[in-house]
């Protein structure tokens, strides 16, 4: 069977033009997707956990959904400071239930945002977000900057759908007319196709943004001969390209948010874009990783007023990244239970955090055997959104897209499982 | 020798994401890319192993040579191996230092641990699918 116009549930590009061919319960062909999306769609049905599993002393045993859901609810009800973490690879409907559950439990809910573009949000809260949809970039941008990111490997279709290799409605010959600047600490596949590759010394991004801001303001005289390994000559050339562009789009990755300076790097990037908007049109967009991490920020914000790291222990929504973020709570050994949904802190959190996860009752809701599996006491497999479940996801530019289901493997969705855990909690908290 | 430790996404790491218990993901995330000149100075060759010690701990990695990696820096894809080295300090931002961390690197003959061994070392219990 051929399924057209399907949505790829891998990265924040949420490509919406996939053609997926299935034979029974098997995906046999995926057209239009990148290597990452193809791999996920072709293989996801193979590597599923068959049923819930629970730890029994020193070994694992199979469990029923009823037993695992009862256990998860009990763990959360018994906890004084439960942490509900993850939420980026699941549907918006499940995220909403998670927020309601965290509020009722008086717990903390945080998404993977805190270890990807959390610092970008902190900067946006300080100085605003000059953003636009990817359609605007595709059709108008004649200069694109990728800063501290490698879309060729992390968002492989970003360039063909929205920038370098895409046609543009307002560009006569988009491929020729659209210039590309790549800023990174190392050469990569993306840097090799750039019109200008700016190689910055690690940790030097903030200084380079400051130098460019000075040049754009007409104060090149205060810029030294080299800034973080970049020659003044190149910076002046780039400053001129940015001012001469009709529509510029700056995309950046976690190379800025994870590096020294963190949110201050992003703040400086936004202020450069602000500066450029005095001369021409410029926008800025973080390259979001998980396909619905942006959705977690949207859902959390419209329900609590805050985009991630929301603490309900005061009976009101409280937000203080650095204190209420998952890594900090785990490193301080503060939470006494953890529910992890659709994410893999085992693969992405520092070791000190993982040590605490193994000491408290941790429940994982995830379709596959992941690096977090050995760290938890109970895992509940669910359907994969975009394969055997459907729901809402937000693209990296904030456009909500309905991710479609095209097969049924008999697994409940995240929304169903979390809904059932929430029902048990409500029965106790609001009998 | 002291190096600046960088992590990041790679397509091999990305394609392994949906089957993290498989050998591809382990191979993709346990590799440390270094400049060939640095390999010469450490007197090791590509394919051999190093021990990297950072603020979060120590891990053994397999080395690959890459001209794209600047001298004095090493690149390890995002994953459980990189995180064995990263510390949990977030400087009040919620974000640990995944980039530009100082690490001490030395050659070793120790084997690269499996992901299950890494997780058991922090107190976890491996789940072995083949036994089920």
Q: Give the residue with greater pLDDT, A423 vs A258.
A: A423
Strand order from edge to edge, sheet including A18-23: A2-6, A18-23, A26-31
Please answer yes or no on whether A368 and B7 come within 8 Å at the CB atom: no
* pLDDT single digits (tens) A279-299: 999 999 999 999 999 999 999
Q: Which CATH class is domain A118-286?
A: alpha beta
Q: How far apart are CA A327 and CA A323, in angstroms?
A: 9
- Please identify which residue in the block is written with the tokens 């030395």: B106
Q: How much is the pLDDT for A266?
A: 97
Chain B residues whose beta carbon lies within 8 Å of the beta carbon of residue A256? none
Closest to A41 measured CA to CA, from A389, A410, A401, A387: A387
CB contacts < 8 Å between A and B, how many? 195
Q: What is the mean pLDDT of residues A240-257?
A: 96
**Predicted confidence band of residue B13 (pLDDT cuts 50, 70, 90):** low
Q: What is the mean pLDDT of residues A206-224?
A: 97
For A250-295, the DSSP string reads EEE-HHHHSSTTTHHHHHHHHHHHHHHTTTSEEEEEE---BTTHHH
DSSP H or E segment with residue A36: helix A35-43
Give residue A214's region: left, alpha or beta (phi > 0; psi -120 to 50): alpha
Lowest average pLDDT, out of A132-146, A188-202, A364-378, B46-60, goes to A188-202
Q: How much is the pLDDT for A25?
A: 86
Q: Where are the domains of chain A?
A: 50-115+291-429, 118-286
Contact (CB, 8 A) for A127 and A231: no
User: Does the pLDDT at position B132 exceed 60?
Assistant: no
SS3 content of chain A, % helix, strand, coil (to 5): 40, 20, 40
Interface of B with A in 72-131 (CB under 8 A): 73, 75, 78-80, 83-84, 86-100, 115-116, 119-120, 122-127, 129
> Mean pLDDT for chain A?
95
Most confident of A131-135, A190-194, B4-8, B26-30: A131-135
Please answer yes or no on whether A114 and B95 come within 8 Å at the CB atom: yes
Q: Which CATH class is domain A50-115+291-429?
A: alpha beta
Q: How far apart are CA A423 and CA A411, in angstroms?
A: 19
Closest to A397 measured CA to CA, from A298, A317, A259: A298
Chain A residues whose beta carbon lies within 8 Å of the beta carbon of residue B26? none
Please answer yes or no on whether B127 and A370 come within 8 Å at the CB atom: no
ipTM greater than cut 0.85: yes
Q: How much is the pLDDT for B11?
A: 64
Contact (CB, 8 A) for B100 and A260: yes
Q: How far apart are CA B41 and CA A310, in angstroms?
A: 48
Q: How far apart are CA A359 and CA A418, in angstroms?
A: 23
Task: Tell whether the torsion through CA atoms of A41, A46, A51 and A55 is positive or negative.
Answer: negative
**Predicted confidence band of residue A428 (pLDDT cuts 50, 70, 90):** very high
Alpha helices by DSSP H, listed for A134-221, are: 134-140, 151-154, 158-162, 174-177, 205-216
Q: How much is the pLDDT for A431?
A: 76
| Interacting residues of A260 by C-beta distance below 8 A, sequence separation 6+ | A203, B97, B99, B100
Domains, chain B, ordered by start: 2-131 (2.40.40.20)
* pLDDT single digits (tens) A305-335: 999 999 999 999 999 999 999 999 999 999 9
Q: What is the mean pLDDT of residues A124-134?
A: 96
Chain A nearest C-alpha distance from B56 (Å):
6
Q: What are phi and psi of A49, to 5 degrees?
A: -70, 135
Closest to A84 measured CA to CA, from A113, A105, A55: A105
Nearest to B122 among A60, A358, A373 (CB): A358
**Predicted confidence band of residue B79 (pLDDT cuts 50, 70, 90):** very high
3-state secondary structure of A398: coil
Q: Give the residue with greater pLDDT, A95 vs A188.
A: A95
* pLDDT single digits (tens) B114-129: 999 999 999 999 998 7
Interface of B with A in 19-48 (CB under 8 A): 19-22, 29
Nearest to A375 among B17, B96, B124 (CB): B124
* pLDDT single digits (tens) A14-26: 999 999 999 988 9
Q: How much is the pLDDT for B9?
A: 74
**Predicted confidence band of residue B75 (pLDDT cuts 50, 70, 90):** very high
Q: How far apart are CA A355 and CA B120, in angstroms?
A: 10
């Amino acid at each position: 069977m051929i399924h057209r116009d399907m949505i790829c549930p891998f990265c924040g590009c949420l490509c919406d033009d996939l053609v997926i061919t299935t034979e029974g319960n098997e995906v046999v062909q995926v057209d239009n997707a990148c290597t990452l999306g193809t791999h996920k769609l072709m293989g996801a049905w193979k590597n599923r956990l068959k049923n819930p599993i629970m730890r029994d002393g020193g070994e694992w045993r199979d469990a029923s959904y009823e037993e695992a859901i009862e256990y998860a609810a009990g763990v959360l009800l018994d906890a004084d400071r439960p942490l509900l973490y993850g939420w980026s690879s699941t549907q918006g409907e499940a995220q909403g239930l998670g927020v309601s559950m965290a509020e009722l439990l008086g717990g903390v809910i945080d998404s993977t945002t805190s270890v990807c573009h959390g610092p970008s949000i902190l900067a946006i809260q300080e100085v605003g977000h000059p953003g636009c949809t990817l359609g605007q970039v595709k059709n108008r941008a004649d200069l694109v900057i990728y800063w501290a990111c490698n879309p060729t490997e992390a968002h492989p279709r970003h360039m063909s759908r929205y920038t370098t290799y895409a046609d543009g409605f307002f560009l006569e010959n988009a491929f020729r007319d659209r210039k590309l600047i790549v800023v990174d600490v190392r050469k990569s596949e993306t840097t090799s196709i750039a019109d200008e590759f700016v190689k910055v010394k690690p940790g030097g991004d903030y200084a380079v943004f400051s130098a460019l801001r000075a040049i754009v303001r007409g104060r090149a005289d205060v810029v030294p001969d080299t800034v973080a390994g970049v020659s003044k000559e190149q910076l002046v050339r780039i400053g001129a390209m940015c001012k001469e562009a009709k529509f510029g789009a700056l995309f950046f990755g976690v190379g800025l948010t994870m590096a020294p300076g963190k949110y201050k790097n992003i703040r400086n990037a936004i202020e450069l874009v602000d500066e450029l908007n005095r001369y021409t049109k410029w926008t800025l967009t973080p390259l979001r990783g998980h396909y619905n991490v942006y959705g977690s920020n949207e859902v959390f914000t419209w329900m609590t007023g805050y985009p991630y790291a929301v603490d309900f222990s005061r009976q009101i929504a409280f937000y203080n990244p650095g204190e209420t973020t998952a890594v900090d709570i785990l490193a301080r050994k503060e939470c006494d239970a953890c529910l992890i949904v659709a994410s893999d802190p085992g693969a992405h959190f520092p070791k000190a955090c993982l040590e605490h996860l193994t000491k408290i009752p941790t429940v994982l809701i995830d379709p596959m055997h992941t690096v977090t599996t050995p760290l938890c006491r109970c895992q509940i497999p669910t359907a994969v959104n975009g394969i055997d479940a459907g729901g809402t996801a937000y693209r990296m530019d904030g456009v909500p897209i309905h991710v479609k289901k095209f097969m049924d493997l008999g697994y409940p969705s995240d929304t169903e499982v979390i809904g059932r855990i929430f029902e048990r909690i409500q029965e106790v908290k609001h009998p | 020798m002291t190096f600046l430790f960088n992590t990041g996404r790679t397509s091999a790491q990305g394609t392994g994401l949906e089957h993290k218990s498989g050998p591809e993901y382990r191979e993709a995330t346990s590799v440390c890319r270094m400049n060939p000149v640095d390999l010469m100075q450490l007197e090791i060759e590509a394919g051999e192993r190093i021990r990297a010690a950072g603020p979060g701990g120590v891990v053994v990695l397999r080395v690959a040579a890459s001209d794209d990696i600047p001298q004095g820096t090493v690149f390890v894809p995002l994953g459980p191996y990189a995180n064995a080295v990263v510390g949990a300090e977030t400087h009040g931002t919620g974000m640990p230092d995944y980039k530009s961390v100082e690490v001490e690197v030395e050659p070793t003959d120790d084997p690269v641990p499996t992901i299950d061994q890494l997780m058991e070392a922090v107190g976890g219990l491996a789940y072995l699918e083949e036994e089920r």
